[in-house]
Amino acid sequence: MAKNTISIDVVISDGKDGLKKLTLDADALRKIMEQNVKVAQSFERKVIGFAATATSITAVNNAFSQLASTMQGLTSESEAFNKAMRGVNTMAEKDSAGFKQLKGEVADLAKEIPIARDQLADGLYLTISNGVPENNWIEFLNTSARSAVGGIADINKVVGVTATVIKNYGLEWSAAADIQDKIQLTAKNGVTSFEQLSQALPRVTGNAATLGVSIDELLGTFATLTGVSGNTAEVSTQLGAIFTALVKPSSEAAEMAAKMGIQFDAAAIKAAGGFQNFLTQLDSSVKSYAMATGSLEQEVYGKLFGSAEAIRALIPLQGELSDKFTANVANMVNSAGTMDAAYADMSSHGEAVNQMLRNQWATARRCRVRKIHQLQSQIHVVEGAPAVCPRIISEQ
């Protein structure tokens, strides 16, 4: 490091008043101080410039780190998807070419629907295991995936409840969209959700179909009673008690029905022309018998159904909610398009859009993660240089 020498001259002279005066020649001091100021300013500029360069390099490096992290995430997602699709093929039993095609169809579906690819694969697994014909696999999965988004429900539960309804009522698999519209409308008109209904409906669908309770009547009942006689699970328990009493009447119920002169068995609902008509006719018979014998209506219902759960559902349906029940059943006929509207709303928000973008990225050609790390290592800082630029070698 260079050394600077400061030279100061001292002059002693006689003044007019006869006193000695001492004078300091500070020119040299002033000059060196000015030089030091210039040196300091230059040093400051270099420090600031280096800091800016270092910041730029850090930003570039961070960007590569984030990209590498993203690519690792995509790799993990791809591994999960591949594993899920291998599981699907244990059911589909496709050869190499067939498996590749099926995998591509699910990946293409993921580009349009904001559900992770491995979850779509899980949905396809359940679709196949539920007995959906091969020519309906992708269509059924597509419809169920859209309903899962619109209904804010797990895709496996959507697939499960839809398949349950179709099989119990003997419908075509192409009826999936219609069923899901009705379930969504039930959630809209009642105090329930698609997710809750997907768990509750399988408990009662079998007996409902056996008794001749239509899908519209079954779902209209849920739309009417949820939030009144109980939550979704409780309503399913109440309906289950009603249906069980009719499928297998107790001896007490059979005796009471004989006294009333009514049909009370598995064929009663079909004979009445539907669940609504059955309830209307039953209520009329109960009122007439109670009035004739001096019995309480609740007592008569209790002997017929033998369950407090059944009574909790029957009383509102026969009383203050009878008009609402009728309206809810009638509305089911016009349920078409309900799920499309829900899907359009739910698929347009930020997270759904981000999921679709991730799905699209996952199927695009990607740089290898190892290459990203190589690019990171090619960012150099040249020691002692006043400015530093990153040197990046592009992938060939």
Q: What is the pLDDT of residue 395?
A: 36
Does the pLDDT value for residue 332 go beyond 80?
A: yes
Cα angle value 184/147/208 (rounded, 5°)? 50
Band (349; pLDDT cuts 50, 70, 90): confident
**Token pair of 264 as six digits:** 């009370």
Considering only CA atoms, which of 127, 133, 116, 122 is closest in space to residue 87?
A: 122
Confidence band (pLDDT; 50, 70, 90) for 353? confident
Query: Which residues does 344 contact at the CB level (< 8 Å), separation at least 6?
Result: 150
Q: Are 332 and 220 in contact (CB under 8 A)?
A: yes
pLDDT of res. 351? 76
Determine phi and psi for 336, rounding to 5 degrees: -55, 135
What b/e string do you get for 48-78 counting C-beta neighbours within 10 Å, with b at 16 or more?
eeeeebeeebeebeeebeeebeebeebeebb
Q: Which amino acid is at 192?
A: T
pLDDT above 70 covers what percent of the chain? 71
Cα–chain center distance at 6: 78
- Average of per-residue pLDDT across 164-190: 97
Render pLDDT for 262-274 as a digit per residue (tens, 0 to 9): 999 999 999 999 9
* pLDDT given for residue 27 in this prediction: 59
Confidence bin at 355 (pLDDT 50/70/90): confident
384/111: higher pLDDT = 111
- Residue 174 token pair: 């192409």
What contacts 214, CB < 8 A, 6 or more positions away? Answer: 274, 275
The two structure tokens encoding residue 39: 């040196």
Q: Where is pLDDT greater, at 22 or 92?
A: 92
Q: What is the model's pLDDT at position 61?
A: 52
pLDDT higher than threshold 70 for residue 202: yes
pLDDT of residue 393: 35
Which of these ranges, 45-49, 129-133, 338-342, 363-367, has the smallest mean pLDDT?
Answer: 363-367
- What are the C-alpha distances in Å from 1 to residues 4, 7, 28, 39, 195? 10, 20, 20, 13, 77
* Average pLDDT in the chain: 83
Mean pLDDT, residues 326-344: 96
